[in-house]
Amino acid sequence: METTTIDLAPAAAELERIAAGVRDAQLCDPTPCDTVSVAGLLDHLVGLTLAFRMAAEKTVPEGGPDADAAHLAPDWRTRLPAQLAELVAAWRSPSAWEGTAEAGGVELPAPDMGMVALNELVVHGWDLAVATGQEYRPDEESVRRCLQFAVSVPDDPEARAGLFGPAVPVPDDAPLLDRLIGRTGRDPAWRA
């Protein structure tokens, strides 16, 4: 896995665009994440943007991001964009990439945690886009880095637990995004 710094801004901007396109009537709709509704996914995104910002700042949060529709903050439409901006700013600090970082009860070398943060933005951006019928346009560099990361995670269930589901076979010549989505345990053909 590459351990250089990563700019989370392009992935965060695309996720923010997708979140802005979510209609209230879609909050109960399913997502590619088993048993998680659009509202549950948004709750997870609100939680993970805070958790990964705190990881960059070397602050240990209590608990980890949830994915519970009942806990979705009423102000998520303003909170999520603000937290995405804070997340990007936190990971632009050189100190974010030094030492270790902790999020969701997991401690990793800081460059690895930054990579996990990027992967969360890109993959959950896709989840939210397909669940709400929107075109997803992530930047190629972010997708490429995430695919390298996803390929580096062993196929055994213990290594993938809490991070990815079982890989879904995707042809080697499929688009980068489809290969990433399949590698993270999702079917690239999934539609709401």
CA dihedral 154, 42, 136, 182 (to 10 degrees): 20
For the stretch 146-160, pLDDT in tens is 999 999 987 777 767
Total domains present in the chain:
1
Is 164:184 a contact under the CB 8 Å cutoff? yes
Tokens of 38: 């659009």
Question: Is residue 156 situated within a structural domain?
Answer: yes
Containing structural domain, residue 103? 9-183
pLDDT tens across 67-113, in order?
Answer: 888 899 999 999 999 999 999 999 999 999 999 999 988 899 999 99
The secondary structure of residue 172, as a DSSP letter, is T
Composition of the chain by helix, strand, coil, percent to 5: 55, 5, 40
* 169 part of a folded domain: yes
Instruction: Give the confidence band of 2 by pLDDT, cuts at 50, 70, 90.
Output: very low
For residue 21, the domain's CATH number is: 1.20.120.450
Establish if 106 belongs to a structural domain: yes
